[in-house]
A and B are shown apart, each in its own frame.
Chain A
Amino acid sequence: MVLFFTFFATQYSGNTVVGYPPTAYRLGYQYLVSVPFFIMIIMVYLFFAPRLYSLGRRFSLLTPVDWIDLRFRSKRVSVLAAILMLYGLGNYLLEQFVAIGQGVSGLTGGTIPYQIGVIFFIVIMVAYSWLGGMRSVAYTDTIQGLALLFGVFTLLIGSLIYIGGLPSAAATMAANAPQKLGAPTGKALTTWFCLLVLVGIGAAIYPHAFQRIFSARSERTLKRSFIRMAYMPFLTAGVVFMVGIIGISAFPDLTTAQSEQLVGMLANALANQNAFFYWAMVLLFGGVIAAIVSTADSVLLTFSSIISHDLYGRYVAPDASEYRKILVGKLVGVAAVVVLVLIAWYPPGTLYQIFVLKFEVLIQTAPALILGLYWRRLNTQAVFVGMLAGTILAAAFTFAGYRPLGVFSGLWGLSLNLLLCVAGSLLFGASRPSASAPKRSSPSHRRRQRPARSECPDRVPPTPLRVAYRTRLRHWRRRVRLNAFSFLSPFPQPLLAPSFPSRSALLGTAVPYSRVS
């Protein structure tokens, strides 16, 4: 049951609750795409997660950049991919800040302005991380999931009772805006298709989601979570979509900017009905704030770990102490939050635009991450050129507002990216032996890899030292997961990524078996 709420809370990021209903309000049934695109994410996962998980096990991978580095052995590719991921994560954080500002402002009918909402959130986030610590994670996830589940369903039921159900919303749409009710055509249909592809691939390769594949306890756990997540969208995206549709009959003539505060306005309208709804809405917003804080915290953790582990620790100062690496990661993370707050002060567009812009860039890392798993001839230079060209094209099209054939700029960028990757690899072949996919034939990889059972079925049973190593690795992964909440801990100990003894250090020492087993 706790696991169920954890998943529930994971998928219900604050933005899902606050940002999706306004979009459904503006687009009508054309935003029904939000249900299948969440399912698409799992579909995309199934094409790469199985192999990636077993590689992660074999090579003790932690971050997506770990994988890119292992696969391509190229500083340029790794750094570029890390920068694109940092951009995507930064954008994701920004989205959460804006969501809470809009939510609080809408709930209080503008009494608390948007900017104060953002500041309020930052204060809560710092206090939460400061006081929370590791032990509270499991409880907070459950309570947060319960609050959200209860709050969102009460919001839906209350809206159905007091505002009118889907039939009255349909009547309003049929009279005022039949395009919101009709099957999408032309540009709307292309948008539907683009969102399916863009979100399906983009959200699957989110660095913090990607890390969850590596940190899964076992293949069985991973499978179970995928199955649950395949049905979750009906309860999460489906419910908030209905809230947005009901909003059409409740507040028929909102401008785009006003509609951003739809959830707050609906909740406000319900809270005025009676004490039960009042407290249910308080609970809903408590859940939303908790969801945003936990999402923001884990995103910040991934952000800092990419800085400390992948950029600073790998390329800038590989010899720096673990503490120093983590400190650098934390400080850059805090600096990024400051910059994002400045941007969130005057949000660049509606939540929907921020959302798409994030995937436009993030999706450019997909060929390196996914194609690299299966195609051994994939050329490192081609990947780099493709990623760079795809990003530039996507950014240029986005800023110019240019959308040929109605297709999103990120998909044009991805097409160019893929074309360059494939053409470059076919023309020039694999760049060098060590850069091929980490298969058995590569000598440099054979040294690093732990022999898989499938390769040597009659291998000796695991020694106690090996078992001790696996156990410690598992504990360490768990600590990294739990530490999501101690990102802003005032204590200087390296909580963020506790140092893990290297395999050789552990297996090479002459510790008597009796002491470790």
Chain B
Amino acid sequence: MSETVAVPASIDTSVPKNYLNHDKSIKSWLLTLDHKRIALLYLVTISIVFLVAGVLALLVRAELFTAGETLMKPDTYNQFFSLHGILMVFLFIVPSVPAIMGNFVMPMQLGAIDVAFPRLNLASYYIYLIGGVLVVTAILAGNIDTGWTFYTPYSARLGSSVIFMTLAVFIAGFSSILTGLNFIVTIHKMRAPGLTWNRLPLFVWSIYATSIVQVLATPVIGITMLLLLLEKTLQIGIFDPALGGDPILFQHFFWFYSHPAVYIMILPAFGIISDLMGVFSRHEVQGYKFVALSSVAIAFLGFLVWGHHMFVSGQSAISSIVFSLITYLIGIPTGVKVLNWVGTMYRGSVSFKTPMLYALSFLFLFTIGGLTGVALGVLGLDIHLHDTYFVVAHFHYVMMGGTVIAAIGGLHYWWPKITGKMYNETMGSIAAVLIFIGFNVTFFTQFVLGTKGMPRRYYDYQIQYEALHQISTVGSWILASGLFLVLFTFIHSLMKGKKAGSNPWGAATLEWTHTASPPSPHNFDEQPIVTHGPYDYHALARVSGDGAAQTSEPELSESRH
């Protein structure tokens, strides 16, 4: 919480009231209903999770520096990679962009004073926190070494800590469902006058698509975890073959959620990249309608491809073929999005500020992640590559090279709005480059390891893989130094950053044109009326950055709580 406390303290008292300084008591933070403050609560909590899970990743890589024992025993290693996965997936990447940036930015982009259900929003945060506490309990109870997939029967035979862990995932899932529900209603009901669906910023579109997936998929992981929990406590015998159950059924249930969950993780990143490409090219995002609707299409198609995680599991050949085919169909809209983003720069005015560096590195890394995904969808080839480091590299290119890079880019982009301070551009750019280099050194080598047959989740390995593992580990250090520099840049900005104007990037969306930096507690002094599209920089130039072309009476939310 140090960050949230430090912010109000550093603001000059002559500054007009904003959401950070209008009430400085701890209670006003912990019980806040303000979507911006809740976003900051998430930011701090999720950053801590990212730090812990990241350190675990570094330890895992360090252990793999040499074949045989380097630092730790096999059981410790197995627990570390499992915790890394569980924390990163369920407590970091699934909530990250929606809960932090979705919460902070989306209502403002809609011209709303808050989300539709502010109390539910706060409750979601505490439910997430309870999930986090249960994870810590499970870690203390020890012996979680199932990997993040909890495959039965292995997971059903482990100690009591699995109970806490599955319960944690179940509860964190509720937080995700409620956030998604809240956002869908907000986007439907709280748009400012004139903000038609065709004028929604693409970030809002992607949060909308994400929320649909959260609402539709998360209940299934909920029931799966509940059944696993009962399997463990009451031996109900649904998944455990020793009791007549079927472990493949668990995999179907698990991936029915966890594949759509991949879209929960990546769709918000698409939204950030769309906004960044538009703003820093000062140009209409190419194929706006396509980019917007393809997010929704991907959200639905994402429910039909779970079986491509199971080509070698023993499911029927016919299912594998069908799943492979649909997987390609989902690849195409994704590919077209990439081309649209590249096309946005065409005849634009491209600025290389730090957020844009992240957006460009997203395009580079995500393209690799996407293309290798297609390689994995090829039936005959997946047999060889399945469960090797090729898969590990692929999903890190998508999840980290995609989502995390986009999230960091987005955080730089909205940082002046969140804190009212600019960050140091030089430090920001150096960190972006370090992360880009470190990431590729770490994970590109893993593609090579994978094709050569190095299986994942191995504590020890054959000596022929050692050189590549060492390169990868060195890469992880470069990557980590880049990430720590990001942290330092932000802390530096909080202490010494220059004051930010209300619209430092010249963006055309409402959170920049109609609110101060940082915004007032109720975001807008008067109800904004939208007269142009989210990337219409000509309209923005006509009203000379002020934006408030027309105003009307401030209007309160129509919903009753």
A joins B in a complex: no
Q: Which residues of B contact A (CB under 8 A)?
A: none
